Amino acid sequence: TMGWLTYVDDRALMDAYDSACGQYVTRRGYDYPAVLRATADAVEADLVVLPILTTYYEEIYYTSIFYEENFLHSGAAVRLLVYDRATGEVIDRRDARSYADEDQPSGRAYVLAGEVMRNVLAAANLRAHVRDLRETARGAEEQQ
Q: What strand order describes the sheet that includes 47-61?
A: 47-61, 71-84, 89-102
Displacement of CA 99 from its chain's centroid (Å) = 21
Quickly count: other Cβ atoms within 10 Å of residue 45's Cβ: 17
- With bands split at pLDDT 50, 70 and 90, how would you rate the model's confidence at 12? very high
Tens digits of per-residue pLDDT, 96-123? 999 999 989 999 999 999 999 999 999 9
Burial of 108 (0-12, 13-18, 19+ CB in 10 A): middle
- The answer on pLDDT for 4 being more than 80 is no
Tens digits of per-residue pLDDT, 66-88? 777 889 999 999 999 999 988 89
Going along 9-126, which residue ranges are E strands?
A: 25-26, 29-30, 47-61, 71-84, 89-102
